[in-house]
Amino acid sequence: FSHLFLMYEPTHSPSVPDGTSYSIMSSMDFKSIEEMDPSLADGHRVMYDREVPFELRTQESSQKPHDVGTLEAVKVKVLCLGEENSILSLRIELSSESDLFFHFCCNINQNGFRQLQDEQKLMCEFKGFASILLKMLNRCIKEPQSFLAVLILTSDGHAVLEFVQNMEYKFVELLVLPFKESPEYVIRQQISYRYNSLRSRMSVMQSRLQDVNALVKIKNPSLLMQLQRNSQLNANALGAMS
């Protein structure tokens, strides 16, 4: 995918900025990086972006899913289209840091939500569904013994995300969302973005490090020498361990 990788080069001034300038410049640089996210290309905005503990289970054809799965941290990104008080649709994206090619998506508009509402006897309306979904995701993070997120993967590229509450005496299914594996071109875009984002952030931090070195060299040269010696010792120790 080398032809997809477009490097973002942050601007770097030779002058040494103060602490306030660091904060402002870093925010601007990182915001520029985040705006490259292909998930935002069609007007969506991010409502939620966190890693959530998921239990991943596999299901072969029409058989029941495996009773025991693997626990993994899955990055959940919830995006919405429309204003905050008038959401037109939601998109939920699932990705993984351990598998760059893992990317599933669920799109829910008002008509799709009505179908979920009828099938699962949901008591909420679509305008309040997003906030309820975010609360459930956060509870899976904060109360993993009581609230579980189970992702059942099938061999045909589909998946089902089940939110389950452990009531001690039984498991209660709270919500089920259908997912589908993203097309190859979307996966390529996401990999490209994550690659470029990481390189750009490293470039920004390298630029900041150079500014800090210049500032410390002016204010306290002996401290800079000590920092550089400690950094070299740490690097040597890590190299010996590896």
pTM over 0.85: no
Determine the Cα–Cα distance for residues 52 and 229; give it in Å rounded to an integer: 39
Q: What is the pLDDT of residue 194?
A: 82
Cβ(91)–Cβ(76) below 8 Å: no
Determine the Cα–Cα distance for residues 237 and 231; give it in Å rounded to an integer: 10
Q: What is the pLDDT of residue 11?
A: 44
Q: What is the mean pLDDT of each run of 10 residues along the chain (242 residues)?
A: 41 47 50 76 91 92 69 95 88 94 96 95 93 96 95 92 93 95 93 82 79 82 79 70 62
Q: What is the pLDDT of residue 229?
A: 81
Q: What is the pLDDT of residue 33?
A: 66
Q: What is the pLDDT of residue 214?
A: 83
Q: What is the pLDDT of residue 131?
A: 93
- Helix boundaries (H) for 66-125: 110-120
Q: What is the pLDDT of residue 197?
A: 78
Q: What is the pLDDT of residue 203?
A: 76
